[in-house]
Structure 1
Amino acid sequence: MKKVLYIGWIGFGNLGDELLWHVFKELSEQYYSEDEIEVTPSFPGVDFKNVEPYDTVVLGGGSLLLPGYLQVLQKAADLGKDILIWGSGMDWVEKEQLDKMLAGENISLGKLFTEKDGELMKDVFNRVSFAGIRGPLAKKALEAIGVDSEKIRIIGDPGLLLNSNSMVDKKEKIIGVNWGTTYNRLYGGNELAVEDALASACKKLIQQGYKIAIYLVWGSDKASCQRLFDKINDPEHVVFDEKLYKEQELMTILSRYTMTINFKLHANILSLAAGVPCVALGYRFKVFDLAYSLGLEECVVSPDSLTLEKDVLSRIAYIETNYDDILSQYKENENLYKPYLIEPFQKKIF
């Protein structure tokens, strides 16, 4: 029996990271028998830096293309272990560099990664059995660091393998709003200004005949959501559901809505998987990377915009006009990436 270590930011109550682990676990159970592999997830209490007991180490979904995690993969490779990167993404690229990247200009990630970090990344990508990352912008960032383009595959976010078990056919004129906190670690560095713009946009959407349903995907987001509810100050047309749902429960709820506006990354995938287009608040690099991987960059707004309220409303109008095309675009990319995400399991790479 092979022993597999799955590394993810799990066990902290963040729905996005938890659902990525659930997808990996389900695929492992689907394609391997119990006597073929034993998977250990990196929950709190598991020393994932101690790779000695394992045959294979998998860097899983989430924005984990960081030196600390890649050092664990390097150590595992040095010990003769098999290493894989499965749907991992990148984050923390500065807005200035993102803007240059999107303009087709050369970028410099010297503030984010040292030369030593670059050597580490090159070494790991040269030695992995499978190197599948989330999106095209992360690929450009890795190339800028010096990783060989041929060694990088874009396989999409593992959340694309989510299928809603029970979707509601009849849509209601409700816009779901996912809000929360990143402790001001977002483009523009001013969460409260984003919150104010979002509250103003919601008031205008209510005037257009929509109801607003505020929801969360992480327990720590509760206070922010409550504050947004209070700022909109219209309990007749706004609800705040404080419950933290599992992914299938939440997708069933979201499937009733006309569309969503989402702060947290995987709230966007949960919405789209439930057949509901969304406006993504591109608070950091990873949101843009996901949107570009799906061809839905027109649905992203940047929180450092001086016209954020207007930007949100214009994206809502864009969704109203291009509703079916957006869902078709998502489905097309879902079908593109699914075989890549399943490949390591089908081919029994580990």
Structure 2
Amino acid sequence: MKKVMIWGWFGFENLGDDLLLRTMLSFLDKKENVITVPMKKTYKQTININQIYRNYKHLVFGVFNNDVLIIGPGGLFPFDNKLKVALYLIITMIWKLMNRKVVFFGIGISEKMSGISAFLWRNIVVHTDLFITRNPNFFKKIKIEESNKNHSMSDTVFSLKYKFKRQTNNSVIGISVANLKNEIDSTFQRSVDVWTDVIKKLLIDGYEVELLAFTKGQDDTMIDSIKAHFKDNNNVKTIHYEDMEEKILKWREYRAVICMRFHSLVLSIKAFVPALPIAYGHKTYTLAKECGLEEYTLKWNNSQSAYYGKNVELSASEIINKLALVISDERKIENLMILNYKNFDSSSSQAFDKLLSVINMEEAK
């Protein structure tokens, strides 16, 4: 029996991270494994896992109760916060000194970091049993060549098995918004205004619209604010975070999806649904490019200049024009998704094979 702790950004009511955890548990929840997951908020248990409150002390004291520490998957890691990266190095060394296994799995780490952070990450990589990130440029930054134990992978969720229901409606456009701020201000209102104008044009063109919230609270607030402009129109619906799980199985109902949330793009690729990626950060843009969708991709981040070096605005007309291109090229996009999904799924599945070999105390192949 193996005792495994999975440390990530779990229990924060973010659908992307929920899907990451579900994928991990689909591979690790075996009778011979005892799984512990520190959670910000406990979820309804559909499988046998031990949910404990998320606190950094568990990263230290968990070494006495577990055989394996898995850090990841997910993208919200402090890759250039020197103190926190140093903390991860200390935690790694503690677990290794106690003869435990340490794995960093499917984590999103940007190569845009200082020399000190790169030095710390290099030491983490050297001392772990397996280190797999979503970003191949990371290893170039820390000056370590990729190997069987240290390399990149596609997003973990590509290995999650879903039986999408057959398409039943070809006139619905899904819009996955991304509310990047915790406050309602002029930036928030400008985003709402852009989406309102987009929806007005889609309604004129005969489409129905579903607004999708991937995070509880923030995205819920945005889709409600947009819906307020169409409160008497039944052709505009809101799908809140709490209801998104059921909606995933019906993803193929969409004619196309406008994807601001990263995992809405992952789901669209898995379901072969034409997508218009709108990248507020690098990970969505990179995935779109890897899938051959770069010409259909837009950038928009009007509140966080750190991603692109400046705030990036986007107009409703730009979104509408790009969506028209996506729909006109839907067969081409579907073929690109079918082709590249095989590669994404293979990359993720091979990474899981290595993870399981480490847990079972075999040499990663």
Tell me, what secondary structure is at the counterpart of 1:27? helix
Aligned to 1:279: 276
Aligned to 2:59: 49
What are the Cα deviations for residues 92-151 of structure 1, in whole angstroms up to 9, with x where unaligned?
A: x8xxxxxxxxxxxxxxx3xxx4433211111122233333222xxx3325533x242425
Q: What's the RMSD between the two structures over aligned residues?
A: 2.7
Distance 1:75 1:225, change over 3 A: farther
Q: Structure 2 CA distance, aligned partners of 1:127 and 1:38?
A: 24
What does residue range 300-339 of structure 1 map to in structure 2 within 5 Å?
A: 300-304=297-301, 305-339=312-346
Tell me, what secondary structure is at the counterpart of 1:175? strand
- The 8 Å contact of residues 211 and 238 in structure 2, kept in 1 or not, is answered as yes
Aligned to 1:86: 105
Gaps of 5+ in 1: 94-108
How many residues align? The count is 319
Tell me, what secondary structure is at the counterpart of 1:13? coil
- What is the CA distance between 1:2 and its match in structure 2? 2.3
Distance 1:180 1:244, change over 3 A: farther
What does residue range 164-203 of structure 1 map to in structure 2 within 5 Å?
A: 164-183=162-181, 190-203=187-200
- The 8 Å contact of residues 174 and 210 in structure 1, kept in 2 or not, is answered as yes
Distance 1:27 1:191, change over 3 A: same
Q: Structure 2 CA distance, aligned partners of 1:149 and 1:327?
A: 34
Residue type of the alignment partner of 1:288: Y
- What is the CA distance between 1:56 and its match in structure 2? 1.7
- What is the CA distance between 1:192 and its match in structure 2? 3.1
- What is the CA distance between 1:197 and its match in structure 2? 1.8
Higher relative contact order (CA 8 A, sep 6+): 1
What are the Cα deviations for residues 218-265 of structure 1, in whole angstroms up to 9, with x where unaligned?
A: 221212111111245661431223362354x22223221101112222
Once the two structures are overlaid, the 10-residue window that deviates more, 73-82 or 1-10, is 73-82
Residue type of the alignment partner of 2:39: F
Q: Structure 2 CA distance, aligned partners of 1:292 and 1:78?
A: 41
Aligned to 2:264: 267
Gaps of 5+ in 2: 41-52, 302-311, 360-365
- The 8 Å contact of residues 269 and 341 in structure 2, kept in 1 or not, is answered as no
Aligned to 2:305: none
Aligned to 1:5: 5
- What is the CA distance between 1:79 and its match in structure 2? 4.1
Aligned to 1:117: 117
Aligned to 1:342: 349
Tell me, what secondary structure is at the counterpart of 1:40? strand
Q: Give TM-score, length-normalised by structure 1.
A: 0.80
- What is the CA distance between 1:341 and its match in structure 2? 2.1
Once the two structures are overlaid, the 10-residue window that deviates more, 14-23 or 160-169, is 160-169
Once the two structures are overlaid, the 10-residue window that deviates more, 304-313 or 151-160, is 304-313
